[in-house]
Structure 1
Amino acid sequence: MHKRAFWVGVLLICQIIFSSAWWTAPASAFTEEQKIFSQAWRIVSQAYIDDTFNDQNWWALREKTLKQRLDNREATYAAIQKMLESLDDPFTRLLKPNQYRSLQVNTSGELSGVGLQIALDAETGELEVIAPIAGSPADQAGISPRDRILEIDGVLTSELTLDEAASRMRGPIGTTVTLRIQGDDGKPKSIELVRDRIALNPVYAVLDTHPGSTPVGYIRLTQFSANAPTEVADAINQLEEQGADAYVLDLRNNPGGLLQAGIEIARLWLDKGTVVYTVNRQGMLGSFEANGPALTEDPLVVLVNQGSASASEILAGALQDNGRAKLVGEKTFGKGLIQSLFDLSDGSGLAVTVAKYETPNHHDIHKLGITPDFQVPLEQITFNQVGTTADGQYQAAIEFLASNSVVADAVSN
């Protein structure tokens, strides 16, 4: 089975993509539409994390559908979507060819839109914000993690799939889209955003120096793209040369990305230890290990908040459970499921939940998140104030590094 990695701009959930080249066509008596449906059914049958398929007879569902008329491709897509909806898993979904191509475009490192990472709440079905991309129109407008998106240009999001909602927010640079947002205060408000080019540059690094204080290397990681491990490694090496004696790794509002990127970045900080466990539908544990040496042994604090999700939680959990870093900020998002993307023969695809992950101490993150060692609420600041004296969470990290307690932890490890 051919395997390739990808980054998703809708859900920065850590994912691994598998090609479905193993599929063999059913009996020649089947129509082309029935073949596509059967291919989708077979993929879920072999890969989905829940082998009870939400307590239903998966074979009987196939037989029932194939007795119906599938007159055209849209009818086939509707049948596949209905089949997937029966799993009651918003992360397992059909991607029509144009939606699939959009995901592939997102891997290029640049797209145009408003810069929101979104998800469907597994319990309520509501469309909610995981995190805005740093510096994007959504970020500048003050949209926050966990905000609910009620409408997009007057269309109720309850009537849209996740990918349809994402598609409506994307568009040519300079065009506008109006979102109706509901925050924690429960008061809906309309926000007009002008679409812009969204640069997916994952790493920002700077040496923070003050007279009489420890030089701190500040690294902000905004997404786990394919090039993120290399860029983080380059940042660490450059900061080491500049004299950094401690580090702050900022994962706030980082909604995830490639699973492998999160693992490789954890290995940059760890000499040894488990990075993450994966658990499949048979309950079998797989693990990814650090094989050292780490690029630096200097003390480390990791900043997290409600917008830190998926691969961010893998990285934060690995560093916390291995005693390599202290976490400062707010409880993380709680996205602990792994999706794979399978190609269908007509250019569409399926995103299928295939496993879940656990931290090295076997903490199940899904819906629970990771609790930081020191909880510090995030005050409302602008993008330009992140990582400055106006940033209360960052200042708490700096003060903690200066207290020598982290130095002692680092030495003991």
Structure 2
Amino acid sequence: MKRLMLVILFLLGHFSVTSFHLLSLSRKAPSKFSSSIQPQSKKADEQDACDNSKYSKRSTQLQKTLRNCLLTFGLVAALSFSPEFALADDQPQSRLPAGKQYWSIIQDGLPEERIAANTALMDYAVGTINNMYYDLSGGAYFQPRDFYIVWKDWLSRDKQMLETRDGAVEGLQWLVKQLNDPFSSYLTLEQLRAELKPSNNGFLGLGVVVKSPNDSQDSFFFGANRAPVMASLPPELAKHSHQKLLDAAKVAKLPVVTAVIPDSPAERAGLVVGDRIIAVGEDRNLQSLEKFSSAENYFGYPDLTVAKPVYAGIEDGREVVVAYRPIRLQIPTLLTADTIFSPTEERLIGGNAVVHYELLHRTIFDPFSITDQDNAVGYIRLTRFSKAATAGFVEAVEILEKEGASSYIIDLRNNYGGVIQEAMLTASSLLKDSHAVLCFTLNSRGGFTPHDVEEYVVDKRYPGYLLSSEPRSTTLDQVRRESPDMFDENGINWSPPSAYASLREQRLKRGILPASRTAIFTKKSKPIVLLINEGTASSAEVFASALRDNGRTVATIGTRTFGKGLIQHTFPMPDGGGLRLTVAEYLTPALKHVTFVGAARYDKSSGEFVSGGIRPDIYCGSRSGIPRNIGADFCVSEALDALDEANGSTTSY
């Protein structure tokens, strides 16, 4: 009905304009009757000929107007009754019975009313998915029309299942699984509330997130970075190994570690993304992980058997796993372990659970003494990009700058992301050029939007240009020079770049260019080294690529990052639950995909294999654990060496 009303209103408006046009044409037409009874002079004959010519032109114009009117009528009528137009007709409108709420129907309604309410709920979800879901394959895996047909086929078979609330939840979960997207899901009201609980210490309270094989979807694991190749165990390796090795194909069915919380006991023990859980104590029945998910039930040192992969090289850009080595660990829970950061007399240590810092300096006699302030190194660890991340980062920088830090190590290992705007705000404080691109985003509606430093310079929380001998106002001053009209007595009138402009238009109108890592390191900006690993994901990858692609880092050290370049949003549902969908993808400033994309196997420009994640400049694994004592961290030592080289130091240790 709504679609029909829109069609009628459109046609009425069009016919009103057409009628006015026809009336104006008819008034301008010459009167042949009046001219026929008047004597004609030569001059009058010439005037009549001219009038006839104008009339002929107006007649042609009149025919064109009528033809356009008929074509418009036919086009609108065809669109209004086509399946494609029907799918876009505000699908997310819930069609619950008038005057009744969803839960009152589920609790007190008749069976047919409950079926109707749950059908409307699922129809709402289908409409939201068709309108908002972003398919990273560019349409190869998802088409709204096909998805709608799949939904209708399911409804015709299993409609009676929607008589109960459990059936509706099962139906919604089935619906989202058809997307084959490990990051999209339907969450009940109870699940949403559980996510908001302040104390959630993960699997066994160890500070690690573990998913069952069905949930992790190995084909999309590592953020679609393509799962490692599972090869057969070589007989020579099995024969000479001092420990029983497990076949990779069998271990692939075990629960997998998908995230490690920074500074957690799991991180200290060396658990990394990709490890498999064999047993908890003597319990090997891990098909259901719910009994291990509540950290409140565990205090002490749980006994855990973990399978670590044994690698045998690289095949087509993918790590080849030939076996898994079982390791038995006793790890303290977060409730047991001491994770407080406080200043000490020997070293400057501070911060909180989101951002913490330490002042380092290496000498021959004391690797991390701070007696020589001229070569002090500021170490900052960003554990996640919450809304407090930028403020914590600025506070750490100000304290370390006051203590004389001349270069910096920014640790992003096991930073699983967070608020993408917060990551870009923090990164913008380290880039001088207001036109430097932080990332590009692609959405489900075809929008392609560049996000540059200027977008965050005008933010009230922008801290200024940091880690440089130049003034903090350097970047803002550039914006004032180039766009003085943006500033007036009412504040800053900034307009975002168009999401539908070409790269050429963005360059000509706003000076925005993809990064090429050709920025020249100057003595005015302090050297920065980034630490990354398999647990660096999502917004943390945005931060890392923004600095790396714009040439702001001396080196990136660690292992390839998780490879999750997808952005999710949770849409509220009429039942109080949430529909979490992938709604966009970001590209690095150099226009590279962080997420593995469809069949795009090779980069035509470089010939390199295309896979997910950010590759480090210097490899340094963290499978032996990330110690709390920074002085015992091998990757931090690698970072110090890179800073020494950047500063032109030839001292050997």
TM-score w.r.t. length of structure 1: 0.81
Partner of residue 539 from structure 2, selected from 311, 326, 329: 311
Partner of residue 646 from structure 2, selected from 399, 404, 409: 404
CA distance in 1, matches of 2:117, 2:329: 45
User: 1:102-121 residue pairs with structure 2 within 5 A?
Assistant: 102-105=194-197, 108=198, 110-112=199-201, 113-118=205-210, 120-121=216-217
1:264 CA drift (Å): 1.4
Give the corresponding residue for 2:20.
none
Give the corresponding residue for 1:410.
none
Give the corresponding residue for 1:257.
418
Over 3 Å counting, the alpha-carbon distance change for 1:347 and 1:131 in structure 2 is same
Partner of residue 589 from structure 2, selected from 360, 363, 367: 360
Instruction: State whether structure 2 residue 214 is matched by structure 1 residue 43.
Output: no
- 1:332-390 CA-to-partner distances (Å, cap 9, x unmatched) read 121111111112122221211111111100111114211122223446245223x31x2
CA distance in 1, matches of 2:535, 2:648: 25
Is 1:300–1:406's contact at 8 Å kept on the other side of the alignment?
Answer: no
Over 3 Å counting, the alpha-carbon distance change for 1:406 and 1:53 in structure 2 is farther
Is 1:94–1:350's contact at 8 Å kept on the other side of the alignment?
Answer: yes
CA distance in 2, matches of 1:173, 1:231: 32
Is 1:259–1:311's contact at 8 Å kept on the other side of the alignment?
Answer: yes
* Greater shift in the superposed pair: 296-305 or 182-191: 182-191
1:53 CA drift (Å): 5.6
TM-score w.r.t. length of structure 2: 0.53
1:52 CA drift (Å): 6.4
Instruction: State whether structure 2 residue 551 is matched by structure 1 residue 323.
Output: yes
Instruction: State whether structure 2 residue 279 is matched by structure 1 residue 187.
Output: no
- 1:202-255 CA-to-partner distances (Å, cap 9, x unmatched) read 111121134556111110111111211110111111111221111110111212
Which secondary structure state, in structure 2, belongs to the residue aligned with residue 357 of structure 1?
strand
Over 3 Å counting, the alpha-carbon distance change for 1:194 and 1:380 in structure 2 is closer
Give the corresponding residue for 1:54.
142
Over 3 Å counting, the alpha-carbon distance change for 1:90 and 1:182 in structure 2 is same
Over 3 Å counting, the alpha-carbon distance change for 1:406 and 1:103 in structure 2 is farther
1:316 CA drift (Å): 0.6
Which secondary structure state, in structure 2, belongs to the residue aligned with residue 46 of structure 1?
helix
Partner of residue 394 from structure 2, selected from 233, 244, 247: 233
Give the corresponding residue for 2:355.
203
Give the corresponding residue for 1:338.
567
Is 1:338–1:357's contact at 8 Å kept on the other side of the alignment?
Answer: yes
CA distance in 2, matches of 1:313, 1:166: 30
User: Rg larger in 1 or in 2?
Assistant: 2
CA distance in 2, matches of 1:100, 1:361: 36
Give the corresponding residue for 1:139.
267
* Greater shift in the superposed pair: 230-239 or 396-405: 396-405
Partner of residue 384 from structure 2, selected from 198, 223, 248: 223
1:170 CA drift (Å): 2.5
Over 3 Å counting, the alpha-carbon distance change for 1:124 and 1:53 in structure 2 is closer
1:149 CA drift (Å): 3.6
Over 3 Å counting, the alpha-carbon distance change for 1:361 and 1:216 in structure 2 is same
CA distance in 1, matches of 2:625, 2:184: 35
Instruction: State whether structure 2 residue 166 is matched by structure 1 residue 74.
Output: yes
Over 3 Å counting, the alpha-carbon distance change for 1:24 and 1:379 in structure 2 is closer
Which secondary structure state, in structure 2, belongs to the residue aligned with residue 201 of structure 1?
coil
Task: For 2:125, give the aligned amino acid.
Answer: A
Over 3 Å counting, the alpha-carbon distance change for 1:322 and 1:166 in structure 2 is farther
Which secondary structure state, in structure 1, belongs to the residue aligned with residue 569 of structure 2?
strand
Is 1:130–1:253's contact at 8 Å kept on the other side of the alignment?
Answer: no
Give the corresponding residue for 1:94.
186
Over 3 Å counting, the alpha-carbon distance change for 1:404 and 1:142 in structure 2 is closer
Gaps of 5+ in 1: 1-21, 408-413
Task: For 1:285, give the aligned amino acid.
Answer: F
Is 1:299–1:406's contact at 8 Å kept on the other side of the alignment?
Answer: no
Give the corresponding residue for 2:11.
none
Which secondary structure state, in structure 2, belongs to the residue aligned with residue 383 of structure 1?
coil
Give the corresponding residue for 2:293.
169
Over 3 Å counting, the alpha-carbon distance change for 1:229 and 1:88 in structure 2 is same
Task: For 1:403, give the aligned amino acid.
Answer: E
1:150 CA drift (Å): 5.3
Instruction: State whether structure 2 residue 219 is matched by structure 1 residue 123.
Output: yes
Q: Percent identity, aligned pairs only?
A: 28
* Greater shift in the superposed pair: 279-288 or 363-372: 279-288
Bigger fraction of residues in strand:
1
Relative CO higher for 1 or 2, CA cutoff 8 Å, sep ≥ 6?
1
